[in-house]
Amino acid sequence: MQRSNWTEEDVYLIAELGHSLHMQGHYREAAVIFQGLVAVDPENRYCLDALAAAWLALGKPERAFAHINSLLAREPADLSVRVRRLEAYLQIGKTAAAAMDFAFLEHLLPAGEIRRLELRLEAARQTQEK
For 67-111, what is each residue's pLDDT tens digit? Answer: 999 999 999 999 999 999 999 999 999 999 999 999 999 999 999
> Does the pLDDT value for residue 1 go beyond 60?
no
Residue 39 confidence class, pLDDT cut points 50, 70, 90: very high
Q: For the chain, first and last CA: distance in Å?
A: 47
Q: What pTM, to 2 d.p., does this model score?
A: 0.88
Burial of 104 (0-12, 13-18, 19+ CB in 10 A): middle
The domain locations on the chain are 1-75, 77-130
- The predicted pLDDT at position 130 comes to 73
Q: What span, in angstroms and rounded, lies between the C-alpha atoms of 20 and 40?
A: 20
Identify the burial level of 46 via C-beta atoms within 10 angstroms of its C-beta, where 0-12 means exposed, 13-18 middle and 19 or more buried.
Answer: middle
Domain 1-75 class in CATH: mainly alpha
Distances (CA, A) of 27 to 21, 92, 126: 7, 19, 28
Spatial separation of the C-alpha atoms in residues 50 and 82, rounded to whole Å: 14
